[in-house]
Amino acid sequence: MPKLICKRVAFYSDHDESAFFEWLAEIRGVSKVKGVSDEIHVYVQRRVVSDTCLRELTALFYRYKIDMKQLAQFVNEKNREWYTGNQKYWHKLVFGKPEKDT
């Protein structure tokens, strides 16, 4: 079961924190959320996730400035084309430098 680690997430109000956890609870594929010291551990049911789950995790991690490199583990043959595209706002945050066009 993949585990995503959200370190020192900044919440700007009680409602902001509530919104974060409500959003996580609504993402199908997230099976468990656990606070450990200054981290939030997010457990995902399986390594192959739906496109919707990956989009929601990407948006959540982007909004709350969580290390997005750990989302690269969810790339597979089915989602590779849409998820790894250089033009996507998350590409550099998940994969590092964009690949050169050939």
Total-model pTM: 0.90
| Per-residue model confidence (pLDDT) at position 102 | 42
Per-residue pLDDT of the chain (102 residues; tens, 9 = 90+): 999 999 999 999 999 999 999 999 999 999 999 999 999 999 999 989 999 999 999 999 999 999 999 999 999 999 999 999 888 999 999 999 765 654
| Per-residue model confidence (pLDDT) at position 54 | 97
The C-alpha atoms of residue 54 and residue 44 are separated, in whole angstroms, by 10
Sequence-ordered alpha helix ranges (H) in 1-102: 14-26, 51-63, 80-83, 91-95
Choosing among 2.30.30, 3.30.70, 3.40.30, 3.90.1310, the CATH entry for 3-95 is 3.30.70
The domain segmentation of the chain, as residue ranges, is 3-95
- CA 68 remoteness from chain centre: 6
